Structure 1
Amino acid sequence: MPTVIARDDHTISRANISRNAIRVLTKLKSAGYEAYLVGGGVRDLLLGREPKDFDVATSALPEEVKSVFKNCRLIGRRFRLAHVYFGREIIEVATFRSNRQPSQDGERQLENGMILRDNVYGTLDEDAQRRDFTINALYYDVGDFTVIDFADGMSDLQHGVIRLLGDVESRFREDPVRLLRAVRFAAKLGFIIDPSTESPMRRLAPLLKDVPSARLYEEVLKLFLGGSALESFEKLRHYGLFGQLFPATEEALSHEDHDFPITFVNRGLNNTDTRLQQDKSVTPAFLFAVLLWEPVRLGYEALLAQDVQPVEALQTAANDVLSDQLKHVSIPKRFSYPMRDIWQLQPRFEQRQGKRPYRFLSHPRFRAAYDFLLLRAEAGEVELELSNWWTEFQRANSQQKQSMTEQGRRGRRRHRKRRSSKNKSNNPGDE
């Protein structure tokens, strides 16, 4: 039997719930259906956090939800959902799901224990058992302001524990993405993963190979763009999960070169967390550029050693790494193209003479490439002098800029003169 927690015994206030979510809950109830706020929204409200979004669970079938709301669209095949639109806010409405075995009509399909399709509907009690973690099996009733706790989730919230509902191995096999969700919630909330939940995680990590790369892309964004990227990265590596998402990067990091590869990734992810804390924008293109740079750099240097021209070497290395990466985590072209630009612009920072620096400043990707250069310098991959020069060049006035580029040109001429003199002294025919 679930525990019903009265209004006076919990901290959720209607004032902190989206008006549109309350509107959906109220309208569904008025139409004769059960409806509850559920999942992360309830969890975050109980923890005193501001929810990112609000999800609703209801007894109404998807088509019935659509008949109640004109501003509704049905989505999904694997899990049929209703999205109710209020301008830019979307309230996701899911029908109670059943925990019954696979059905003959194909609405619930499993393959090797993994759920391929789950559109068999059930009761509130059954829906609670289909939730992944105890802290997500909490339901808020807008009618009497109570919280219904089906799995002792309130206790786990109070003790800071991530615990999987049901038989741990079976639940991970049903949906291997739960491995990533366990890490994400632990990193985001600062919780520990219950030992029984944690025990098989490293062993079951290869299950992620069977998850569509497009779905893993969405999970990667949640892991690294939720404000706890660095902590998520460290936990993913601890449980052997990062290598399932970014195998080339994991391989490169396992052979650290003077410590800067791991330092570079750490600094890049910490920079992402800092920007989010400051309400600054973060693009997935920059994130993926950071996560994949080390295998690209190693491939680039290997090709240079084979006397391949720098531009071609960098393009080839980027193509090879990205081609392999897309087999694991897909990256939409709207992000992969600017990601390539960030990489391919890095050699241009070495060109500091004449008109080239001026032209480079006007490049639409200059700022992102410059931020990337700063990370490389901080990690020790390139000299700080190089990043400092570009920082100063951006701040300099016209006269100062001219002086800086002239110094670069004179330095280049002296280098050519010394090289020419050396060649002559080494050539007996010139004596």
Structure 2
Amino acid sequence: MRKTIAKAIPKKDTIKNTRNKTTVATASFDKPLIFSRDQHPVSRKLMSPNALKVLYRLNKGGFDAYLVGGGVRDILLGLKPKDFDIATNATPDEIKALFRNCRLIGRRFRLAHIVFGREIIEVATFRGHHENASKEERNCTKTSKQSDAGMLLRDNIYGSINEDAERRDFTINALYYSAKDFKVYDFANGVQDVKDKVIRLIGDPETRYREDPVRMLRAIRFATKLDMQISDSTKAPIKELSSLMANIPAARLFEEFLKMFISGKAVANFEQLRSYNLFGYFFPAVDQALNQDTQEQDFLLDFIMLAMENTDKRIINEQRVTPAFLFAAMLWYPLQKHIQQIKVTTQLTPQDVFFAALNEIMPEQQRSIAIPKRFQAVIKDIWILQEKLGRRDGKRAFKTFEHAKFRAGYDFLLLRAQIEATPELIELAQWWTDFQEVSDEARLQMIKGVRSPQGSKRRSPKKRRKPSAKTTES
């Protein structure tokens, strides 16, 4: 990158505006700071070609259009941009008329997705202030709706770019790049906050959190992702308002879970969520167990931390990960607690005990995070494999080894052995490690050397008696 943000901001906090007058670098929503091409590092070469196509076509159609938010922010930070969101004065219907590959999504927040194969460019119409909307718009529940707690349930009031900037969450996201004049428009002194590495909410923090409690999660996520500090005024109300997270739909919390825990910053986000009393809204049973002074709590915390560290490493190394593995790790010890409780009060078989515990813990977790069925199935497979991996006699070892989720189950076993450190688990983990590395002939010898668990030998099936030719009628 040919220019850093430090060079883009003059040392004495002054910039030259388009009229070549020197002004103090204090942005306002009516008069933004304007950085000309030679004052910032944002270049079209760093942008997605598809995002540029969208910008050009909107401009050609007579609309204003800007690259906004993370794409601009990350370039200023010297990072490779991944998100290319666009803001425009075109309405969703006008956007759809311009692009055949457009689909409109969302009820709470109407958006246009322009689809280019696997890449999706998100286009949003400038948001306006609800108090400035017409009476007809405010009374239309499809356009504007707010809960008694102040949470925005519908947010489809459109306005100007100035209003849109004021409606954005953080100053570092109120930065707009124009492909027409190559300038960056800074409405909330975001460029300075990028330089100072500060996460700062626009407007009154309590009001903004009440409008959308997920902003509390976003503040934490941006701080850990971008190596920034949350400003005092932005973080002050979070603990007090943490209960607002109870109003967030379970489906939306699943999306937030992916952003917090499957992004390479799981450990940092986990620690921050706990410090602000927010983790319990993701995993109530886990949070309750972590706050108890028991051996289970020690195992659980160490196990979760180890699973998250491994996940972070895999993401950094660009290896595949599945959210199901972390879900399985989070809920493993709460599941074991349910199993022990059921064993005390019932005479069920081990298999029935497992499914009884599963049917208790998963619906409870689903009320917080709506885990899709495809991940629920993998979670169950990982857990079931823990029992199967312990049974290696006869053909069982080969059947387990051929299981579609063997690798995930094996990796899970390795973590358990490392945390619990019992001789049995350590021996079992090493056995399966060796089993994968030797020939089929050597595997057969390994199986012969395994002692069958007590009571695991099957009795030979009794021969069924042939039915008598004579029948007795009642």
Aligned partner letter, 1:317: A
In the alignment, the residues of structure 2 paired with residue 162 and residue 168 of structure 1 have an alpha-carbon distance, to the nearest angstrom, of 12
3-state SS of the aligned residue for 1:345?
A: helix
Bigger helix fraction: 1
Most deviating of 272-281 and 256-265: 256-265
Does structure 2 retain, via aligned residues, the 8 Å contact 1:315–1:344?
A: no
Aligned partner letter, 1:395: E
In the alignment, the residues of structure 2 paired with residue 207 and residue 170 of structure 1 have an alpha-carbon distance, to the nearest angstrom, of 12
In the alignment, the residues of structure 2 paired with residue 138 and residue 144 of structure 1 have an alpha-carbon distance, to the nearest angstrom, of 15
**Alignment match, 1:312:** 352
TM-fit CA distance, 1:381: 6.1
Aligned partner letter, 1:207: L
Residues 236-251 of structure 1 aligned to structure 2 (within 5 Å): 236-251=273-288
Residues 266-305 of structure 1 aligned to structure 2 (within 5 Å): 266-305=305-344
Residues 173-184 of structure 1 aligned to structure 2 (within 5 Å): 173-184=210-221
2:412 is aligned with 1:377: no
Does structure 2 retain, via aligned residues, the 8 Å contact 1:34–1:60?
A: yes
Most deviating of 298-307 and 367-376: 298-307
Most deviating of 343-352 and 211-220: 343-352
Task: Extract unaligned runs of 5+ from structure 2.
Answer: 1-30, 458-474
**Alignment match, 1:54:** 84
Percent pairwise identity: 49
In the alignment, the residues of structure 2 paired with residue 68 and residue 229 of structure 1 have an alpha-carbon distance, to the nearest angstrom, of 40
Deviations for 1:98-142, whole angstroms, at most 9, x for unmatched residues? 023271223111112000001110000000011011111111111
Does structure 2 retain, via aligned residues, the 8 Å contact 1:311–1:344?
A: no
Aligned partner letter, 1:364: A
Most deviating of 225-234 and 114-123: 225-234
In the alignment, the residues of structure 2 paired with residue 155 and residue 79 of structure 1 have an alpha-carbon distance, to the nearest angstrom, of 29
**Alignment match, 2:21:** none
TM-fit CA distance, 1:408: 1.1
RMSD: 1.8
TM-fit CA distance, 1:291: 2.0
2:295 is aligned with 1:257: yes
**Alignment match, 2:389:** 349
In the alignment, the residues of structure 2 paired with residue 375 and residue 52 of structure 1 have an alpha-carbon distance, to the nearest angstrom, of 32
3-state SS of the aligned residue for 1:408?
A: coil
CA spacing shift, 1:113–1:381, aligned 2, 3 Å: farther
CA spacing shift, 1:169–1:414, aligned 2, 3 Å: closer
**Alignment match, 1:121:** 158
Residues 14-413 of structure 1 aligned to structure 2 (within 5 Å): 14-101=44-131, 103-106=138-141, 107-111=143-147, 112-255=149-292, 256-257=294-295, 259-306=298-345, 307-380=347-420, 383-409=425-451
Task: Extract unaligned runs of 5+ from structure 1.
Answer: 417-431
Does structure 1 retain, via aligned residues, the 8 Å contact 2:391–2:453?
A: no
How high is the TM-score relative to the length of structure 1? 0.93
Does structure 1 retain, via aligned residues, the 8 Å contact 2:170–2:199?
A: yes
CA spacing shift, 1:380–1:123, aligned 2, 3 Å: same
3-state SS of the aligned residue for 1:404?
A: helix
TM-fit CA distance, 1:305: 3.9
How high is the TM-score relative to the length of structure 2? 0.84
In the alignment, the residues of structure 1 paired with residue 270 and residue 330 of structure 2 have an alpha-carbon distance, to the nearest angstrom, of 10
Aligned partner letter, 2:342: L
2:43 is aligned with 1:13: yes
CA spacing shift, 1:118–1:303, aligned 2, 3 Å: same
TM-fit CA distance, 1:415: 11
TM-fit CA distance, 1:339: 1.0
**Higher radius of gyration, 1 or 2:** 2
